[in-house]
Copies of this chain bind each other. A is one copy, B any other.
């Protein structure tokens, strides 16, 4: 959600968190830190993730969204930017004690869905003059972040008037007694996160092509057996304890799985209390839906 108010806050950020696709096999994140420290020696710079797959805006958007609430007074500097050196704008979004500096390429879509923020256009002429090089991370993002973090707002003179780019996280779909969900994230353990979040609902079976998961678990056990569990961010995920689910089955984001939920009796519905976890990222927009509650009742249920 974007607020209309124009003025940026005279706010200080104590931490800069980098989200890039530079990978550690490059000096580029280090160079950004050098530029930041030339201007602002007080801010702490941490790497949220410099290993976003090259140009993978969706993964970056997702990681920013699930991470942001665990930080405060932090400016996220998001340089997954395949459109670098084109006319795309650089945006500064401000809200809920954290700020975000990012290209206008959809990378802030998910966080915008659930956070109220003010939006500004960064005036790149302050840093790079008329030049457009292929390393705005160094030439614009780093000096702008250093200044914004120390309360300097000169680069935010212009209002951002255009419509920002959006990417949309797919939602699970209900089809008769099945739920069609989609893999939206594969983590570094090979656990495959779906877009299905409804922590109280038991799933009998999940399947996709020849892959089948029938064991619902709360832990990464039993060893060697496919399991599904609601993970620590509230998403239903598939895992292979002591193994790598994604690698074993060649899972990529975008793959669809069918979920067969246990049906829920009306009594159970009334009892159901909101799990505090489910207030975590992405949930708000989706809460209206709550797919399993709308499922046709199973046989023998009232």
Contact = CB atoms under 8 A, between A and B. Distances in A.
Name the residue among A45, A50, A188 with the largest chain B CB count within 10 angstroms. Answer: A188
Contacts of A2: none
Contacts of A82: 220, 241-242
Interface in A202-234: 218-221, 229, 231-233
Given A24-B49, A46-B33, A51-B24, A38 B232 contact: no
Interface residues of A, number: 65
Copies of this chain in its oligomeric complex: 3
Nearest to A229: B134
A254 interface: no
A14 interface: yes
A277 B133 contact: yes
Interface string A11-47: 0001101010111111110110111011001001111
Nearest to A74: B34
A17 B45 CA distance: 14
Contacts of A221: 83, 86
Interface string A135-165: 1001100000000000000000000000000
